[in-house]
Protein backbone atom coordinates (compact mmCIF):
# COMPACT_ATOMS: atom_id res chain seq x y z
CA UNK A 1 0.00 0.00 0.00
CA UNK A 2 1.15 3.47 -0.87
CA UNK A 3 -1.49 5.70 0.71
CA UNK A 4 -2.83 6.32 4.19
CA UNK A 5 -6.13 4.66 5.01
CA UNK A 6 -7.06 7.63 7.18
CA UNK A 7 -8.45 9.88 4.47
CA UNK A 8 -10.34 12.89 5.79
CA UNK A 9 -13.12 14.24 3.61
CA UNK A 10 -13.60 17.94 4.29
CA UNK A 11 -16.41 20.35 3.52
CA UNK A 12 -15.86 23.76 1.98
CA UNK A 13 -16.77 26.69 4.20
CA UNK A 14 -17.82 28.96 1.34
CA UNK A 15 -17.00 29.93 -2.25
CA UNK A 16 -13.80 31.67 -1.22
CA UNK A 17 -12.59 28.50 0.51
CA UNK A 18 -13.43 26.55 -2.66
CA UNK A 19 -11.49 29.06 -4.79
CA UNK A 20 -8.47 28.84 -2.47
CA UNK A 21 -8.53 25.05 -2.65
CA UNK A 22 -8.57 25.13 -6.45
CA UNK A 23 -5.60 27.50 -6.34
CA UNK A 24 -3.80 24.93 -4.21
CA UNK A 25 -4.75 22.04 -6.49
CA UNK A 26 -3.64 23.77 -9.66
CA UNK A 27 -0.84 25.75 -8.02
CA UNK A 28 -2.15 28.96 -9.57
CA UNK A 29 -1.56 31.27 -6.60
CA UNK A 30 1.43 33.46 -7.43
CA UNK A 31 2.61 33.38 -3.80
CA UNK A 32 2.52 29.58 -3.57
CA UNK A 33 5.99 28.44 -2.55
CA UNK A 34 5.64 24.89 -3.85
CA UNK A 35 5.38 25.80 -7.53
CA UNK A 36 8.54 24.85 -9.40
CA UNK A 37 9.82 23.65 -12.78
CA UNK A 38 8.22 20.23 -12.25
CA UNK A 39 4.73 21.65 -11.57
CA UNK A 40 3.60 21.47 -15.23
CA UNK A 41 4.17 17.70 -14.97
CA UNK A 42 1.50 17.36 -12.27
CA UNK A 43 -1.34 15.28 -13.65
CA UNK A 44 -4.95 16.37 -13.60
CA UNK A 45 -7.69 13.77 -13.93
CA UNK A 46 -11.27 14.60 -14.73
CA UNK A 47 -13.60 11.87 -13.66
CA UNK A 48 -16.69 10.17 -14.94
CA UNK A 49 -15.88 6.94 -13.16
CA UNK A 50 -12.54 5.42 -12.04
CA UNK A 51 -12.17 3.51 -15.31
CA UNK A 52 -12.98 6.52 -17.51
CA UNK A 53 -10.63 9.41 -16.86
CA UNK A 54 -9.31 12.28 -18.87
CA UNK A 55 -5.66 12.99 -18.06
CA UNK A 56 -4.16 16.41 -18.61
CA UNK A 57 -0.98 18.31 -17.91
CA UNK A 58 -0.91 22.11 -18.13
CA UNK A 59 1.46 25.02 -18.19
CA UNK A 60 0.68 27.91 -15.83
CA UNK A 61 -1.50 29.85 -18.25
CA UNK A 62 -3.62 26.78 -19.03
CA UNK A 63 -3.80 25.82 -15.32
CA UNK A 64 -5.29 29.23 -14.55
CA UNK A 65 -7.86 28.89 -17.33
CA UNK A 66 -8.88 25.39 -16.21
CA UNK A 67 -8.97 26.40 -12.53
CA UNK A 68 -11.20 29.39 -13.31
CA UNK A 69 -13.43 27.17 -15.46
CA UNK A 70 -13.91 24.71 -12.61
CA UNK A 71 -14.65 27.51 -10.19
CA UNK A 72 -17.20 29.09 -12.54
CA UNK A 73 -18.87 25.74 -13.20
CA UNK A 74 -19.04 24.49 -9.61
CA UNK A 75 -19.07 27.50 -7.27
CA UNK A 76 -22.87 27.51 -6.96
CA UNK A 77 -22.75 23.89 -5.78
CA UNK A 78 -20.28 24.47 -2.95
CA UNK A 79 -22.84 23.27 -0.38
CA UNK A 80 -22.42 19.67 -1.57
CA UNK A 81 -18.76 19.77 -2.63
CA UNK A 82 -16.02 18.22 -0.54
CA UNK A 83 -12.29 17.74 -0.80
CA UNK A 84 -9.61 15.34 0.35
CA UNK A 85 -5.85 15.17 0.27
CA UNK A 86 -4.45 11.65 0.09
CA UNK A 87 -0.87 11.27 1.28
CA UNK A 88 1.79 8.75 0.45
CA UNK A 89 3.66 8.58 3.78
CA UNK A 90 6.48 6.43 2.44
CA UNK A 91 9.72 8.39 2.44
CA UNK A 92 11.16 6.27 -0.37
CA UNK A 93 8.48 7.15 -2.97
CA UNK A 94 8.64 10.50 -4.73
CA UNK A 95 7.33 9.70 -8.18
CA UNK A 96 3.90 8.50 -9.21
CA UNK A 97 3.74 4.96 -10.54
CA UNK A 98 1.23 2.53 -12.05
CA UNK A 99 0.60 0.70 -8.77
CA UNK A 100 -0.21 4.01 -7.07
CA UNK A 101 -2.70 4.74 -9.83
CA UNK A 102 -4.41 1.38 -9.24
CA UNK A 103 -4.58 2.05 -5.52
CA UNK A 104 -6.00 5.52 -6.23
CA UNK A 105 -8.77 3.91 -8.32
CA UNK A 106 -9.62 1.63 -5.41
CA UNK A 107 -9.81 4.63 -3.05
CA UNK A 108 -12.10 6.40 -5.51
CA UNK A 109 -14.42 3.40 -5.81
CA UNK A 110 -14.66 3.30 -2.02
CA UNK A 111 -15.59 6.99 -1.95
CA UNK A 112 -18.23 6.42 -4.61
CA UNK A 113 -19.71 3.63 -2.51
CA UNK A 114 -20.16 6.29 0.19
CA UNK A 115 -21.80 8.63 -2.37
CA UNK A 116 -18.78 10.94 -2.81
CA UNK A 117 -18.18 11.20 -6.54
CA UNK A 118 -14.81 12.45 -7.75
CA UNK A 119 -15.04 15.40 -10.10
CA UNK A 120 -11.37 16.28 -10.33
CA UNK A 121 -8.11 14.81 -9.12
CA UNK A 122 -4.74 16.50 -9.24
CA UNK A 123 -1.61 14.50 -8.51
CA UNK A 124 1.15 16.60 -6.99
CA UNK A 125 4.33 14.95 -8.08
CA UNK A 126 6.47 18.07 -8.16
CA UNK A 127 8.23 18.05 -4.80
CA UNK A 128 11.54 16.28 -5.08
CA UNK A 129 12.00 15.97 -1.31
CA UNK A 130 8.39 15.32 -0.37
CA UNK A 131 6.34 12.24 -1.11
CA UNK A 132 3.72 12.61 -3.80
CA UNK A 133 0.07 12.98 -2.92
CA UNK A 134 -3.17 13.74 -4.64
CA UNK A 135 -6.09 16.10 -4.11
CA UNK A 136 -9.68 15.17 -4.90
CA UNK A 137 -12.65 17.42 -5.50
CA UNK A 138 -15.77 15.44 -4.60
CA UNK A 139 -19.46 15.92 -5.27
CA UNK A 140 -21.67 14.35 -2.60
CA UNK A 141 -24.92 13.00 -4.01
CA UNK A 142 -27.32 12.07 -1.26
CA UNK A 143 -29.01 8.80 -2.26
CA UNK A 144 -32.07 9.70 -0.17
CA UNK A 145 -32.82 12.89 -2.06
CA UNK A 146 -34.95 12.60 -5.17
CA UNK A 147 -33.60 14.74 -7.98
Q: What is the pLDDT along the chain (147 residues), one digit of tens a residue?
A: 788 778 999 999 999 999 999 988 887 776 666 666 666 666 666 655 545 555 666 677 887 888 899 899 999 999 999 999 888 877 777 677 788 888 888 899 999 999 999 888 887 776 666 667 788 999 999 888 765
Q: How far apart are CA 108 and CA 116, in angstroms?
A: 9
Helix axes 60-74, 15-26, angle to 10 degrees: 150
Q: How far apart are CA 21 and CA 135, in angstroms?
A: 9
Q: How far apart are CA 62 and CA 80, in angstroms?
A: 27
- Cα 25 to chain centroid, rounded: 6
Looking at the whole model, is its pTM more than 0.75? Answer: yes
Quote the radius of gyration of the chain (alpha carbons, Å). 15
**Structure confidence at residue 139 (pLDDT):** 94
Amino acid sequence: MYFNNDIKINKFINRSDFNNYLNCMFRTDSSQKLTNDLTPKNKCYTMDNPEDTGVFQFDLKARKVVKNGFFDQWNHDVDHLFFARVECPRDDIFEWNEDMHKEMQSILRDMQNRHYYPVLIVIHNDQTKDSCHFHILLDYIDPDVNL
